[in-house]
Structure 1
Amino acid sequence: MDLLEDAPGSNAHEFTVSELSGAVKRSLEDQFGRVRVRGEVGRVSRPSSGHLYFDLKDDRAVLAAVTWKGQAARLAQRPEEGMEVIATGRMTTFPGQSKYQLIVDQIEPAGAGALMAMLDRRRKALAAEGLFDEARKRPLPFLPRVIGVVTSPSGAVIRDILHRLRDRFPTRVVIWPVAVQGEGCAPQVSAAIRGFNALPAGGAIPRPDLIIVARGGGSLEDLWGFNEESVVRAAADSAIPLISAVGHETDTTLIDFASDRRAPTPTAAAEIAVPVRADLAARLAEAGARMTRASALRIDGPRQRLRDLGRGLGRPAALTEGARQRLDLWGARLEPALRGLVRLSRQRLASRPMPAATLRQFTAAKRMGLGRVETRFDLARARRLERPRDRLKQLQERLDSSIRRAGATARRALAQQDQRLADLTRRMEAALLRGQRQRRDTLDRLDRMRQTLGYTETLKRGFAVVHGPDGLVTSAERAGVTPQFQIEFADGRIEARPATAPDKPRRRGPPPEQQSLL
């Protein structure tokens, strides 16, 4: 029995897809030929075609809107994300995607937008608590050993960060995967920040020295998870310095105010996190060169000063030669002067009348037979007059002692300077030897690199280079037309010819003359 024959017939008209889409389009355009819609501007797109695509939304629905290129140039107010506007236009459908949209030809501002107003109120409330104060922000570490990244592991953001870190200064990175939009974004991001801070130092998972919270650009709705209060408080309470890299340069979220540093893009966050290794090496080399020059100057300066002082000091014996000569001169003059002084004193004493008591003593002594009293009296006076010679001898001894002490002091000073110069010389020689070893190691590394990159090492692995009269032969076709060439191996070159000599071109004669047909 045939089932098609027993099936009841249907009188309903069968529409094609295009017919049904056209009918819906006509019905919608007839019912809503000209409308005014109030809503908040969502995502705005300006492609290179010049058309303007954006969303109108409220708390329950989203309406797609489009302004064609000619109308977009005449708009008095360009729509921006977060603005509350009144859009005037006509409703139509887009059959290619089975969606309806508003063709806008006029836009009037109607307010700042509900979402932006709520975001502004939340920002002011958190700022009043002091979460955005500059005093709370911590300085970033100069060279972090471990960097924690809070982002989606499958997006392009983490690849950009890792690529930039690898180019500037390779550093260990720990990734905490989170959702970067949607309902799970805020709790996962706040849990990741607090989780990094809860890691113990020296544990199985290294505790990061710096945290980067990163996400690519998007609309206000896409970035809304980073405006949640839980995320802002987690960033403000983080004991580890935190860099916020959410969105593009024009995007602003509340985590940017609570973080210790805001980066305009995720790539810029990697540039802020670590310095350039080549720049550090150059600065280190420059500092080493400056230290070497300073050490040389520190040694050469005292050495030259010591030489100058040595030339100015002269020989210790030369300091006393003039004094010795003057002493000998005055010593030779002193003895005749003393003798003259004694003689003059004798004359004065002889011409001076003797006191009565002394005269009585002298008379009594003569009576007693002491005839040599006067002579002994004169000798006693002469011995008293000779005492300056003893004084001169004492002065001579003191002068010799001073000269000896001055010579010993000068010798000790010279010995100390010699010892200091010897110490500085040993230190300079050790620094020069270290510099030579470092340069020798660098030269050895470059030579090994040259040998590794050179083709001679490739020849040792069984390869060969073919040299022709006009240069290298790199193809079989060229080798076939080359009459003779050289093959270079690792241990030398050999002459070679192709297996079959190239055919000589045939010489073509002039074409035969055409004979007459008559």
Structure 2
Amino acid sequence: MRWSLPVVGPQRLPVVAEMRHICRMETADDELAVPQGTNAPEISVTELANALKRTVEDRFGRVRVRGEISNYRGPHASGHAYFCLKDQGARLDAVIWKGTFQRLRTRPQEGLEVVATGRITTFPGKSSYQIVIEAMEPAGVGALMALLDERRKKLAAEGLFDAARKRPLPFLPGVVGVVTSPTGAVIRDILHRIADRFPRRVLVWPVRVQGETSAAEVAAAIEGFNALPLDGPIPRPDVLIVARGGGSLEDLWSFNEEIVVRAAAASAIPLISAIGHETDTTLIDHVADLRAPTPTGAAEKAVPVRAELAEHLAARARRLAMAKTRGLDDRRARLATFARLLPTPEQLLQTPRQRLDRAGERLRAALRATQDARRLRLSRLAHALAGHSPQAELRGKKERLRGLGQRLDQGLKARVALAQQQAANDRQRLGTAGARLRRAFDTGFAQRKDRLARLARLQDSLSHKAVLARGFALVRDEGEHLLRSVTEAPAGATVTIEFADGRVAAHVGATESGPAPKRRPRGGKTKGDQGSLF
């Protein structure tokens, strides 16, 4: 692992030496121990971890580290990436935060040697140090080539480079779509070459052809051209050109990204790749329907030369006119030869005329025979139909209907007589049943009336009214509950006293337990307090 540190000279001291003013430790028998009688202050683990974190971050700050990516399992559920950088002698924990990971041009891959730029810090939770990566790039052209070769094998195994997938380009496209930078010389060369050869409508989708966002923009441009509707306001191109000028492997790396290769493979529009010079090769060249050595060559392959087409068309027109003239002369000569060999119309019509005359005679004889046979058959049918005339059939139906009417009258009269007899029998049975019902009703009514009189006498003998008539009374409280004891009637309560001939309301005065008070004579008055009823 190679580190490029921002400090030089004697300042590159071990971190432990910087902490001697905090805690002094000595080793004895492979164990750490604090000597007795020391004046070193006691600190907590958190304080020590924070002091170490500040010291490491202050001393090292930003560094560039070269190493091989190890233990990479893809982004975490949170979006952050955790892995290790290692070489032959050591390993360093590394972390890429979610926002940085999305902006990286080179994504981490297991076994890839990279140069990472970031900050050295510590993680107190594990008592370890780590690098927080802010930028990352492959470590040299060799690493890029190894990555490129691995990606080429992966995509080839998926069948994206198969020759059977490549489609022919349209002979004369109506609209040409170009994906390139709008400010470079590439687009000017393409437009100039298309205008010289065969002017066509050109749609340019401006993208960055180098940088972190270049691959995503190129892939989005290819997908955007394919998403245009056929009959929309912006015409859909008939052929696409993805172009860029020459450069180093790093400059052309955007066209080796997997997102660009897959977008080109999924394009429904035939695609021409024109990346770099003739010696430059990128992965998009393998998946494109046609690879052009230069952007100018792509324009030449996209459209034909109009002058050449016009000359070729004129030559074809001349050849067609000459062939037409020769064909007509040849056919005139052959027609004259055949005309001499053909018989005259009279000779051709002699035999058909004889056959027509004989057929006419046979037809007339057949018509007469058919007519005679049909007349004979018609007379036979008329004779047979006379025995089944409508008048004879109608007379038979009338006789049958008259017999059925007589039978119906006789049956109806017998049915009425039977119904009258049944009605008389029913009236007789109904009169007998009515007499029996009246007798049963009178008997039952008398029995129930006698029983009701006995129950009324029994009720009178058991009713409390008879007791009240002998001079007793019922006392009830406000809720109409019967009071059976003096204790159930508190002083001041309102009660209802029921006699045999009615009820009166009263208020309860002071009560006392003891012998019952003397009964007041009927119709008389007692001396003393008359306010209490008890």
TM-score where L is the length of structure 1 = 0.40
Q: Considering only CA atoms, is the larger Rg found in Structure 1 or Structure 2? A: 2
